[in-house]
Each structure stands twice: as structure tokens, then as C-alpha cells.
Amino acid sequence: MARKTQFRIDHTQDGWRVDVPSNLSSTGKRERLFFGSREQASYYAHRMKLHPDLADDSHLAVEAARALSYLEPFGLSLDEAVGMVVERLRGRALPS
């Protein structure tokens, strides 16, 4: 009988890490993905068990979770941070 796919979820200094086995990763190699909370990591692992074909579409969710973990110490939301970056970039684009 085939072994059941296991996603290992560990708490690290960089956040909650999900180890994705090579047979389910989009690259064909083992991947380590980081999330801001255990709930996000568990949700990702559960979703991948049910729908492994979603691996290619998950990069935005992974990036958003990583960005949120970076912003958490500053008390900023993702929308607030993006707004600040867009304002700064618009200021640079104006001719001097």
C-alpha cells in the first residue's frame, strides 16, 4: 500500500515552515515554504493534500504570507505597505 503524503510543519525563526515533498512540488524538488502563522501553514498543507494541482497557483499566497510576517513587527497590513511603496514609486517617476 502507498504511503500517505505527509507535510511536515515546524516553527522556525523565519515563521512556520511547511516541507513540501518533491512529488507534490511545482519544481520536482523538495520545497520549504514559510508562513506567518500555523493556521496559514496548516491550511496550505491541507489544501495541497486535497488538490496537489494547485501548487503552481500557490506562489502568490506564499509571497503574501511571507510579506505579512515581515510587516507584523511594524503593525502594518499588506494593503498599507503596498500603498506606501506605490506612493514612493510615483514620487520617483515624476520629472524633477
Judge residue 44's burial from the number of C-beta atoms within 10 Å of its C-beta, 0-12 exposed, 13-18 middle, 19 or more buried: buried
What's the pTM value of the predicted model, to 2 decimals? 0.46
Cα dihedral 72, 73, 78, 83, rounded to 10, equals 170
* Predicted local confidence at residue 74, as pLDDT: 93
* Predicted local confidence at residue 25, as pLDDT: 73
Q: What is the 3-state secondary structure (H, E, C) of 6-39?
A: CCEEEEECCEEEEEECCCCCCCCCCEEEEECCHH
Count each helix (H run) and each strand (E run) in the chain, helices first: 3, 3
Question: pLDDT tens for residues 28-87?
Answer: 788 888 888 888 888 777 777 666 655 555 566 677 778 888 888 999 998 999 999 999
Q: In terms of C-beta distances under 8 Å and separation of at least 24 residues, what long-range contacts does 22-25 make, across chains too?
A: 24/48, 24/52, 24/55, 25/55
Domain boundaries, the chain: 8-93
